[in-house]
Amino acid sequence: MAERADYHRADYHPPLRESIPNILGDYGSRPENHWDRSQADCHRIDDGQAYDIPALRQSLKGLTIGGEIIYAEELNSTNDYIKQARGSLSNGAVVLAGRQLAGRGRNGRVWYSESRAGIFVSVLLKAGRREPSFTLAAGLAVTRAVRLLGLPAGIKWPNDCVIDGKKFAGILTETQGMGDFLAVGIGVNVNNSAFPEDIAEKAVSLALAAGRRFSRQDVLADILRQLNYVYKPFMEGGFAVLRDEYLRHCVTVGAEVRLGTPLREGSSETARAVDISPSGGLVVVNGSGARREVLSGEISVRGLDGNYTA
């Protein structure tokens, strides 16, 4: 039996029918869900497309993010896995799930995790004192990757990724109990052809926006590469060095927004978003002309359409 730490080595191949770690919950204890060496690194995910983990590792070789990749066909939440296993994971470790049973969004919301269609991935990152605004840098990385695919992606402050006002990706960055580390969880609607009624008006997938399907593996590799490309400058210069590019893609600046908290309906205030500060805050001006900076996580912002973004 391998040491548990072995599961996290990039070159580790689980032995025939060895069960995946208990951290996967009940799923890992069911015999039908045990690893099989013949399929250990090629995980077919129902829709005919597969995550080819060795190819993914190869395409990210030498980069901080993706130097260690852990794949499980099913997890409750990739962010939860990162938080629980972080002691045995290296900086930049990637945890990828074929599907999530309890995907989480911001503000306690559920993240719709349709197995055949989406990317569900989390990254463990050392960010130290710079951590609060990394979530914006991650939104920029996803936006860049999708723009390079030819789609007009934009960012709703702080980090909702949208196309024509509809959300295709969300980012949940968690710090609690993580010391100097962050769990950066990214969910992307790639090949969804429809959404549940409650989010149908607000959500879109890359496939719906483009009129064609995408390889989740390629989109994932593009996103992780872009995450690497923003990580280093961010660690050296903070959000300020990414701000100009962020502003070019930010759809919130210039819009009327409502500031409030999702838990206290009715306690909101309308303002105009006018800028993003060098530290990543949203600068707003209210009806009386008072200007102030709103920090991500401090308050919720929604468009006048009523949709919360933070």
| Interface residue list for ligand BTN (CB under 6 A) | 77-79, 100, 103-106, 109, 111, 120-122, 160, 170-172, 185-187
Least Cβ distance, residue 304 to ligand BTN (angstroms): 19
User: Is the separation of the CB atoms in 300 and 261 below 8 Å?
Assistant: yes
Cβ closer to ligand BTN: 26 or 36?
A: 26
* 64/113 with CB nearer ligand BTN: 113
Nearer to ligand BTN, 50 or 172 (CB): 172
Task: Tell me which residue has its CB nearest to ligand BTN.
Answer: 170
The single-letter DSSP state of residue 127 is -
Q: Is 240 left (phi over 0), alpha (psi -120 to 50) or beta?
A: alpha
Residue 120 or residue 134: which is nearer to ligand BTN going by CB? 120
Give the shortest CB-172-to-ligand BTN separation in angstroms: 4
Measured from the Cβ of residue 182, the count of other Cβ atoms closer than 10 Å reads 24
User: Please, what is the minimum distance in Å from the beta carbon of residue 42 to ligand BTN?
Assistant: 22
Angle at the Cα of 247 from the Cα atoms of 291 and 212, rounded to 5 degrees: 135
Could you tell me if 91 and 64 are in contact, meaning their C-beta atoms sit under 8 angstroms apart?
yes
CB 125 within 8 A of CB 174: no
Q: Judged by CB, which is closer to ligand BTN: 53, or 186?
A: 186
Which distant-in-sequence residues (6+ apart) come within 8 Å of 251 by Cβ? 154, 155, 156, 162, 165
Smallest gap from Cβ 74 to ligand BTN, in A, equals: 13
User: What's the closest the beta carbon of residue 136 comes to ligand BTN, in angstroms?
Assistant: 13
